[in-house]
């Protein structure tokens, strides 16, 4: 999950002086600085590069911006003519600032702190590209995908190529591990899930592994429920991130025997802090920490979260693991 953000005063300071949100993503020194802020403050075991999943459509030539209080706004694409206007050439040049930021962070990070690169999955990125922003129903994207699958798959194919390339470039720039976020995977019924979430991710993982055989790849198929099993079974996937709604006993019994899992504290507990937070963290640790497990949040840190709560949680988890190993 994104570690830097508005809950940190040092982030707000950098953000204030660096234009728009995307300007920050494309300013290597500043993106590196905010990536390192939570590591410096809390000493996590891994850093995730400060960027956004929507740099990919931006690099493909779609108009992307971020409006305060609204979220991402894109000029929606609606037909195969719009798809044809996406330009795949020059993707690496466009995204060079992201790779520069990774190089800076890797050089400054402690040697035993991992650096994670990431991208959105094709389905999730496509929803933003077609809806023109966030959505509740995903009516335009799903209608297109379900009614004209051949045309919609042209968009997915472009995204598979672009995302694969973007992930490989991140490894070449110093990322030790990769994470693929399919935030809206769970919104697809079974057959569509396999076609538009599972299959594109499998192909991206295969493409990345071909060039970078040793990089661990974590997939986050948010709200996928039972279908987490299929994602974990993708050849080349090292771990899955758990959203905050999945049943942990099911994870322990069904998913964890074959897969490393990562998650899943509801960020609301981090906002609440105190005993409620610690009790929930302990419940997660009790259920999942007997097998390979990475403690993490189930979703990003909420802006009003007091940073002290994050420090408390980090300390609580570390000492619990010391006492229970």
Q: Is 132 in the site for a copy of itself (CB under 8 A)?
A: no
**291 backbone dihedrals φ, ψ, rounded to 5°:** -120, 170
The residue from 26, 99, 128, 228 that is catalytic is: 128
* Active-site residue identified among 6, 12, 87, 283: 6
Task: Give the range of 4-12, 14-22, 44-52, 189-197 binding a copy of itself by CB under 8 A.
Answer: 189-197
79 scored as a contact of a copy of itself (CB under 8 A):
no
Given 189, 213, 322, 323, the residue binding a copy of itself (CB under 8 A): 189
- 249 contributes a contact to a copy of itself by CB under 8 A: yes
Binding residue (CB under 8 A) for a copy of itself from 85, 87, 90, 139: 139
Give 73's contacts (C-beta < 8 A, 6+ positions apart).
Answer: 64, 65, 66, 67, 132, 133
Map the footprint of a copy of itself across residues 265-324, applying CB under 8 A: 266, 268-269, 271-272, 274, 276, 280, 283, 298, 302, 304
Give least dist CB 247 to a copy of itself, A. Answer: 4
- Residue 58 or 131: the one with the smaller Cβ distance to a copy of itself is 131
Rounded distance between C-alpha atoms, residue 225 and residue 274, angstroms:
29
* Catalytic site includes residue 2: yes
Q: Indicate the SS3 state at residue 251.
A: helix
Give CA–CA dist 117/176, Å, rounded.
8
Q: What angle do CA 124, 130, 133 make, to 5 degrees?
A: 75
Among 32, 49, 187, 215, binds a copy of itself (CB under 8 A): 187
| Strand 177-182 relative to strand 217-221, pairing | parallel
What is the maximum span of the chain, computed from C-alpha positions, in angstroms?
60
C-alpha–C-alpha distance, residues 76 and 293, integer Å: 39
Answer yes or no whether residue 7 interacts with a copy of itself by CB under 8 A: no
Q: Which of 100, 113, 95, 116 is nearest to 175 (CA)?
A: 116
Report, as residue numbers or ranges, the catalytic residues. 2, 6, 15, 52, 128
């Amino acid at each position: 999950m994104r570690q830097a953000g508005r809950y940190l005063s040092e982030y707000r300071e950098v953000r204030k002086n660096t234009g728009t949100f995307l300007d920050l993503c494309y300013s290597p020194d500043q993106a590196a600085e905010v990536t390192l802020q939570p590591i410096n403050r809390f000493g996590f075991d891994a850093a995730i590069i400060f960027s956004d999943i929507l740099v990919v459509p931006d690099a493909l030539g779609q108009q992307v911006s971020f409006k305060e209080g609204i979220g991402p706004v894109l000029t929606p694409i609606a037909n195969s003519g719009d798809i044809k206007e996406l330009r795949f050439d020059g993707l690496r040049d466009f995204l060079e600032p992201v790779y520069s930021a990774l190089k800076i962070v890797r050089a400054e990070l402690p040697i035993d702190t991992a650096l994670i690169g990431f991208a959105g999955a094709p389905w999730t990125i496509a929803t933003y590209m077609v809806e023109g922003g966030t959505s509740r129903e995903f009516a335009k994207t799903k209608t297109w995908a379900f009614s004209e699958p051949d045309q919609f798959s042209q968009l997915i194919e472009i995204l598979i190529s672009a995302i694969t390339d973007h992930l490989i470039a991140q490894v070449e720039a110093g990322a030790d591990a990769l994470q693929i976020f399919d935030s809206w995977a769970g919104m697809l019924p079974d057959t569509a899930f396999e076609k538009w979430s599972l299959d594109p991710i499998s192909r991206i993982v295969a493409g990345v592994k071909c060039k970078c055989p040793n990089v661990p790849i974590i997939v986050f198929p948010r709200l996928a429920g039972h279908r987490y099993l299929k994602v974990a079974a993708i050849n080349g996937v090292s771990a899955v991130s758990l959203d905050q709604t999945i049943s942990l006993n099911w994870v322990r019994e069904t998913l964890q025997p074959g897969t490393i899992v990562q998650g899943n504290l509801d960020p609301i507990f981090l906002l609440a802090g105190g005993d409620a937070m610690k009790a929930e963290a302990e419940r997660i640790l009790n259920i999942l920490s007997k097998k390979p497990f990475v403690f993490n949040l189930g979703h990003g840190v909420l802006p009003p979260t007091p940073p002290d709560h994050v420090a408390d949680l980090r300390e609580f988890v570390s000492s619990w693991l010391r006492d229970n190993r």
